A = this chain, B = another copy of it.
Amino acid sequence: VKAGPRRILVLNGPNLNLLGQREPEIYGRTTLAEVVARLEALGDELGVAVEHHQSNHEGELIDRVHEAMAEPVDGLLVNAGAYTHTSIALRDALLGAGLPFVEVHLSNLARREPFRHQSLLADAALGVVQGFGPLSYELGLRALVALLPPR
């Protein structure tokens, strides 16, 4: 039997390591480390353990999802960045892992370029939160924890 708090994996995709530096007029000035710290604090409040992984490599993100099956992780909070729109392989990994996940985005994709309007992950997710900057992650975590199936 699983003991201890439930485990949530926060998965960040390409270029999110630049958060706070890259195009701040779109993505804001909070760094990824600060986002993760807030999520860890919120996780404490909600009684879940938050882990984090960021990669610019599609394959590494897939590998990390596969590992999450074995650990086991209870749910994922996913901002796949640009791979949201191009990676069927990541979608397959998430579906294959059979773990509930919530999709989040810092920016409101509906205001971005047309090639960002379509998500290959969204219909596999529980739901989507987008447009609120780092707050999107926190709201997504709240949703994920609230909707985790009972053990």
A interface with B by C-beta (< 8 Å): 13-15, 17-18, 21-23, 55-60, 62-63, 66, 69, 81-83, 85-89, 91-93, 95-98, 108, 110-111, 115-116, 119-120, 122-123, 125-132, 135-136, 139, 142-143, 146-147
20 A-B pairs besides A56-B62, A135-B143 with CB distance below 8 A are A13-B89, A15-B62, A15-B89, A15-B93, A21-B96, A23-B95, A56-B66, A58-B59, A59-B59, A81-B89, A81-B92, A85-B88, A86-B86, A108-B127, A110-B125, A111-B123, A127-B129, A128-B130, A135-B142, A139-B139
CA of A92 to CA of B143 in the docked complex: distance in angstroms?
26
B-side contacts of A23, CB under 8 Å: 95-96, 98
Interface of A is mostly: helix
Known A89-B14, A92-B81, A92-B82; judge A127-B132 contact (CB<8 A). yes
Contact B108 A125 (CB under 8 A): yes
CA of A89 to CA of B129 in the docked complex: distance in angstroms?
21
